[in-house]
């Protein structure tokens, strides 16, 4: 990016700037107090009309305002060089890190796709005692309130009926903010003559309530996952929690936008075909219930999705990809970070992957109150660490990272199982390639303490790369980037086949060819085209590089001769279709047209002959199976062989026939 200007401020000389290292890849301009006394340097950079990267995020709102006042239209980027690099016990050696951070920040983030939600304020308050009625009373001026009491405790009716108060138990619920539906059992209305406590009328089950917001004050198990928008829950005995829930409910009226966290292409999904279930990775991991089974693919509700990204982390085909940001942007930024660090003279970096909330706060605290991040630790922000996929992990190593550490809260959040599974996969791949080290190259750091973060990062600095950093571009789908990264790291002496753990998204589908009948059912359900047929002759082919180990072929095979073998195959043959089973075609006995296979014709004829069925007792009928579809119709029409004719019917005997035969005897 030679046309970009990098404005780097030493923040009143509180950190040292390595101008030689920072000058890589663009024009460097420095300052000591860019936000106050030296604003003119920022305005001068804007006046050039060139893209500008400012090495400060604390004063980003100020710089954005100055750019707006100056009518500057060029791209403006911000990067935190102070807490992430300069404020550190090793800040003097952090020049290559700063260069990498500046290079990564210069790659723009695309606009976030949004999902619109609308709430009219129709609110169902679920409760067990007077707390629910009091909450409804306080919200009635803002929301359309209905209170549903469980009836487990006596509740005195208020003097005035300002909103409906009913009895019932919520058996289940579906939906999201603005579109909830609650199934209620024991639904009953109160008697208007209720005196000291509500007296309830006749009850019925399967009543349904549609509402925009649910305020759950029953103290019972939650109806939804904690991330479901529009569903507020509090323990009725916790007054502070009830207050927070009431305050949140008051704001849930109007139109809202939430990010569309994932993009989904149903045509790539390997979930099911022909009522056979294959891949269930995302279904098994989604903690919010946003993913449900469909006919040929899963169904993802963007309104329910909470953005953990576990589905995108484990999807083997790329049907689900994370959209905040999309994989192409994430990989491009990661490449710029690592290659920018190397270009400025950095070696053997340790990549620290973290999210925006928890990770940024710990890094900030460590910089302000501790020794800061080591110079060789490169922080890289993800929207959610749980969305970390295999392509990002493998590409990070291929572009020069000696180790990867994923920063997580001390209490694991929802949806992290897929990320831990990917850590195991990449560790198995590196081990199989002979690139494992004494310490784990890929691991998680689970802590809420910034000083513990620094302590657990220290051992990782002993890691060294055993391969030359690659420079390939992250082109194509994440799966293609993954294979390119693994090939770039593979030493020449490494084995061609590396075994992988169960459920790994790549491997072979092994066919016991002696039992295969070439029915080609596997080719009709394979979602990636790993199994294919030859239109010219009876032949089954398999492309290992395309196999995602979904298991649809094994579940569909009527002969049960297909088994899965998760592995990495670096041989050239894995990228070419290989013939699994081939037979000579059977030729029509009338016109010599090839159709079917000789073995299948013999097998069908032998089974039908052995069945003893009247339809195939005549050899002429079995001979029809040796004719192609055209000649079979001709034989049935002109040859006098009716394939649908039944057996000869017995002669009908009447009473007269019986009397005549008796006289003759």
DSSP state of 189: P
DSSP state of 200: B
Pairing of the two strands 276-277 and 122-127? unpaired
Q: Which helix (H) or strand (E) holds 662?
A: helix 655-664
Cα–Cα distance, 557 to 523 (Å, whole number): 10
The whole-number average pLDDT for the span 39-45 is: 96
Residue 304, strand partner residues: none
Please spell the DSSP secondary structure of 84-148, one letter per residue: IIISSTTGGG-HHHHHHHHHHHTSPPPPPPEEEEEE--EEEEEESSHHHHHHHHHHTTTSEEEEE
pLDDT in tens, 26-37: 789 999 999 999
What would the pLDDT profile of 621-634 be if each residue is shown by its tens digit?
788 888 888 888 88
Beta carbons within 8 Å of 169's beta carbon, 6+ residues apart: 150, 184, 185, 186
Gyration radius of the chain's alpha carbons: 35
For the chain, the domains span: 1-78, 116-257, 260-322, 335-494, 507-582
pLDDT at 587 over 70: yes
**pLDDT value at 614 more than 80:** no
Q: Whole-angstrom Cα distance, residue 419 to residue 421?
A: 5
Does residue 642 surpass a pLDDT of 70? no
What's the pLDDT score for residue 651? 79
pLDDT greater than 90 at residue 641: no
Whether the bond between 325 and the residue before it is cis, its omega within 30 degrees of 0, is yes
Q: What is the pLDDT of residue 619?
A: 78
116-257 topology per CATH:
FAD/NAD(P)-binding domain (3.50.50)
Architecture of domain 1-78 in CATH? 3-Layer(aba) Sandwich (3.40)
Q: Find the helix or strand (DSSP H, E) in which 165 lies.
A: strand 165-174
What was the pLDDT predicted at 76?
Answer: 94
H or E element at residue 321: strand 320-322
User: 């753990």: which residue's tokens?
Assistant: 501
Q: Does 448 have pLDDT greater than 70?
A: yes
Q: Per residue in 290-329, pLDDT tens?
A: 999 998 899 999 999 999 999 999 999 999 999 999 999 9
Residue 191 CB coordination number (10 Å): 12
Question: Do 507-582 and 260-322 fall under one CATH topology?
Answer: yes
Mean pLDDT score, 470-498:
95
Per-residue pLDDT of 95-150, as tens digits, reads 999 999 999 999 999 998 999 999 999 999 999 999 999 999 999 999 999 999 99
Token pair 């083997």 is found at 316
372-424 confidence digits (pLDDT tens): 999 999 999 999 999 999 999 999 999 999 999 999 999 988 889 999 999 99
Give pLDDT tens digits for 331-344: 999 999 999 999 99
pLDDT category, 207, cuts 50, 70, 90? very high
pLDDT band at 471 (very low <50, low <70, confident <90, very high): very high
pLDDT of res. 154:
93
**How many Å apart are CA 157 and CA 175, to the nearest integer?**
31
Q: What is the pLDDT of residue 19?
A: 82
pLDDT of 638 higher than 80:
no
Average pLDDT over residues 65-74: 94
Tokens standing for residue 579: 């013939």
Domain 335-494 has CATH 3.40.50: yes
User: Candidates 3.40.640.10, 3.30.70.3270, 3.30.420.140, 3.40.50.300; correct CATH number of 507-582?
Assistant: 3.30.70.3270
Q: Quick: pLDDT tens for 217-251.
A: 999 999 999 899 999 999 999 999 999 999 999 99
Residue 25 has pLDDT above 80, yes or no: no
Length of the chain, in residues: 665
Question: Which residues lie across from 149 on neighbouring strands?
Answer: 127, 167
Would you list the DSSP string of 529-562?
SSEEE-TTSSEEEE-GGG-----HHHHH-TT--E
- Output the pLDDT for position 647: 63
pLDDT > 70 fraction of the chain, expressed in percent and rounded: 97
Q: What band does 648 get if pLDDT is binned at 50, 70 and 90? A: low
pTM to 2 decimal places: 0.88
Tell me what pLDDT residue 531 has: 97
Q: Is 430 exposed, middle or buried (0-12, 13-18, 19+ CB in 10 A)?
A: buried
What average pLDDT does the segment 346-358 reach?
95
In the predicted model, what is the mean pLDDT of the chain?
92
Is 80 exceeded by the pLDDT of residue 639?
no
pLDDT of residue 634: 84
260-322: CATH topology is Alpha-Beta Plaits (3.30.70)
Q: In what order do the strands lie in the sheet with 442-446?
A: 377-381, 350-354, 403-408, 442-446
Stronger pLDDT, 587 or 193, i.e. the higher one: 193
């Amino acid at each position: 990016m030679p046309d970009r200007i990098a404005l780097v401020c030493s923040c009143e000389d509180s950190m040292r700037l390595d101008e030689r290292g920072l000058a890589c890849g663009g024009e460097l301009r420095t300052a000591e107090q860019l936000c106050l006394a030296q604003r003119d340097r920022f305005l001068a950079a804007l006046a050039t009309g060139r893209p500008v990267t400012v090495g400060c995020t604390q004063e980003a709102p100020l710089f954005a305002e100055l750019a707006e006042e100056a009518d500057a239209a060029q791209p403006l980027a911000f990067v935190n060089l102070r807490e992430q690099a300069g404020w550190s016990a090793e800040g003097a050696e952090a020049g290559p890190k700063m260069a990498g951070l500046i290079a990564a920040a210069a790659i723009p983030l695309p606009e976030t796709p949004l999902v619109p939600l609308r709430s009219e304020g129709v609110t169902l308050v679920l409760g067990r005692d007077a707390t629910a009625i009091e909450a409804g009373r306080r919200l009635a001026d803002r929301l359309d309130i209905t209170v549903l009491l469980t009836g487990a405790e006596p509740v005195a009716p208020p003097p005035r009926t300002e909103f409906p108060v009913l009895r019932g138990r919520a058996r289940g619920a579906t939906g999201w903010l603005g579109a909830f539906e609650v199934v209620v059992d024991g639904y009953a209305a109160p008697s208007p003559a209720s005196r000291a406590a509500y007296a309830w009328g006749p009850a019925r089950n399967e009543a349904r309530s549609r509402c925009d917001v649910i305020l759950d004050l029953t103290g019972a198990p939650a109806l939804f996952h904690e991330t479901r928008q529009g569903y507020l829950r509090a323990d009725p005995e916790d007054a502070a929690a009830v207050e927070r829930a009431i305050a949140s409910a008051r704001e849930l009226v109007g139109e809202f936008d939430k990010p569309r966290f994932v993009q989904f292409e149903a045509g790539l999904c390997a979930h099911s075909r022909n009522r056979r279930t294959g891949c269930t990775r995302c279904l098994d991991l989604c903690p919010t219930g946003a993913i449900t089974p469909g006919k040929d693919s899963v169904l993802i509700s963007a309104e329910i999705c909470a953005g953990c990204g576990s589905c995108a982390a484990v999807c083997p085909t790329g049907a689900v990809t994370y959209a905040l940001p999309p994989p192409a942007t994430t990989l491009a930024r990661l490449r710029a970070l690592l290659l920018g660090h190397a270009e400025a003279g950095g070696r053997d970096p340790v990549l620290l992957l973290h999210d925006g909330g928890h990770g940024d706060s710990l890094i900030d605290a460590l910089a302000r109150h501790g020794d800061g991040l080591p110079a060789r630790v490169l922080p890289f922000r993800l929207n959610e660490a749980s969305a970390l996929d295999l392509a990002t992990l493998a590409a990070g190593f291929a572009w020069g990272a000696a180790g990867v550490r994923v920063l997580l809260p001390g209490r694991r959040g929802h949806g992290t199982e897929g990320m831990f599974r990917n850590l195991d996969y990449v560790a198995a791949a590196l081990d199989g390639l002979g690139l494992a080290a004494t310490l784990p190259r890929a691991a998680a750091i689970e802590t809420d303490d910034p000083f513990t973060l620094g302590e657990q990062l220290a051992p990782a600095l002993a890691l060294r790369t055993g391969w030359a950093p690659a420079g390939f571009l992250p082109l194509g789908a994440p799966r293609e980037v993954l294979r390119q990264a693994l090939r770039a790291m593979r030493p020449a002496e490494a084995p061609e086949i590396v075994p992988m753990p169960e459920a790994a998204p790549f491997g072979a589908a092994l066919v016991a060819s002696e039992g295969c009948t070439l029915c080609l059912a596997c080719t009709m359900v394979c979602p990636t085209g790993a199994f294919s047929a030859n239109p010219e002759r009876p032949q089954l082919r398999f492309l290992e590089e395309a196999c995602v180990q979904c298991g649809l072929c094994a579940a569909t095979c009527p002969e049960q001769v297909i088994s899965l073998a998760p592995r990495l195959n670096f041989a050239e043959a894995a990228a070419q279709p290989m013939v699994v089973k081939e037979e000579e075609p059977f030729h029509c006995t009338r016109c010599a047209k090839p159709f079917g296979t000789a073995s299948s014709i013999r097998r069908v004829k032998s089974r039908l002959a052995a069945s003893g069925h009247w339809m195939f007792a005549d050899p002429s009928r079995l001979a029809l199976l040796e004719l192609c579809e055209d000649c079979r119709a001709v034989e049935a029409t002109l040859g006098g062989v009716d394939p649908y004719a039944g057996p000869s019917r017995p002669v009908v005997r009447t009473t007269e026939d019986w009397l005549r035969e008796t006289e003759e005897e």
